Amino acid sequence: MSLDLRVYTELKIPGYVRDNVVVRDKGYGNYDINIYQNVSYNGKFTNIAGALNKGNLNLYDMNLLNPPHDNVFAWFQLEDLKEQSLREIEAAGKEMFFSGGTREQATEALQGLEENVKYVFYATLDKMVDYNEFVKFKKEKNSYANWCAVYTGGRIQNLGIECELLRSCNLGWDTKEYPEMIIWNHDEETQPLENKIENTEVMQTHFESMLRYMGEQEAFLKMMNETSEIYKEAAEYIEENGMLIYGYSGIAKKEELLKMNEWSEIYAIEVSELR
């Protein structure tokens, strides 16, 4: 289950990747589950306990494994206009729908944040860009980007990849079937991995492998009340079309977020409390 959760949380829950799961068999299809946090951004460690009873997962705090809102990025429901910029779309009279409200309301929310507190943020790019261009942007700006949202065809799904070396792990998997599925294992030096993170071909393979792997984990997805179709369809789309990035996520403080909000590349920023 550690590998399943590692892949699932990287794909869907930026800021909260988990890869350390301890399961105790109680017999008769019942298990106690503990999900441990190995890396902290604010000095706090939030572990999750729960039970798996005959395929039904019950966690004592399910909120910690909830993905962000479907409309956390402003590209929600604007997929057919992906060649344009959001500011152009807005100027043409299109009403914008995302969880931060209007761009002005999202800015007001940033201004009302507490000082010196770290937040999880979701920055919507004004234009969708390919991964090469996103890496260039990330290197030129102090973007605080840890994860980027990849367009997977059709309705926005908010599936993505980590775009920084944040944590290593020691998990085994079928590397021939799913190449590059985990970028950083314990024994590897970081510089070659930094090069991998900046390589579009490697990161597209990484994304496709995670999607294809998750698309095969029927039992795990049933526990998460999901089906495999979106992962399988996303893998096919990425293989045929490559990666376009429409937003990114990371951890930052109020002052940093307000500066970021002024960049021409950014349309709007939504934040949530770092748990």
By mean pLDDT, which of 6-15, 67-76, 159-168 is the weakest?
159-168
| Highest mean pLDDT out of 7-11, 130-134, 270-274 | 130-134
Task: Work out the pLDDT band at 15, boundaries 50, 70, 90.
Answer: confident
Are 31 and 149 contained in the same domain? Answer: no
Residue-wise pLDDT for 93-114, tens only, equals 888 878 988 999 999 999 999 9
Are 135 and 29 contained in the same domain? Answer: no
Does pLDDT of 57 surpass 90? no
Are 30 and 157 contained in the same domain? Answer: no
25 within domain boundaries? yes
Task: Determine what percent of the chain is predicted with pLDDT higher than 90.
Answer: 58
Number of C-beta neighbours around residue 74 at 10 A:
30
User: What strands, in cross-sheet order, belong to the sheet with 159-162?
Assistant: 159-162, 145-150, 244-252, 119-130, 266-273
Are 231 and 137 contained in the same domain? Answer: yes
Report the number of distinct structural domains present in the chain: 2
Does pLDDT of 163 surpass 80? yes
Q: Please, which residues have CB within 8 angstroms of residue 35's CB and are 6 or more apart in sequence? A: 5, 18, 20, 21, 47, 48, 49, 50, 59, 65
Are 119 and 192 contained in the same domain? Answer: yes
The predicted structure's pLDDT at residue 186: 59
Are 85 and 17 contained in the same domain? Answer: no
Q: How far apart are CA 46 and CA 231, in angstroms?
A: 28
The predicted structure's pLDDT at residue 41: 64
The predicted structure's pLDDT at residue 185: 64
Q: Mean pLDDT, to the nearest integer, of 66-84? A: 89
| Greater model confidence, 132 or 190 | 132
pTM for the whole structure: 0.89
Are 100 and 43 contained in the same domain? Answer: no
Does pLDDT of 23 surpass 80? no
DSSP 8-state secondary structure symbol assigned to residue 63: G
Does pLDDT of 265 surpass 90? yes
By mean pLDDT, which of 47-56, 89-98, 124-133 is the weakest?
47-56
Provide the residue range defining the domain that includes 262: 79-273
| Greater model confidence, 119 or 24 | 119
58 within domain boundaries? yes
206 within domain boundaries? yes
Does pLDDT of 266 surpass 70? yes
Query: Alpha helix locations (H) across 112-199?
Result: 131-140, 190-197
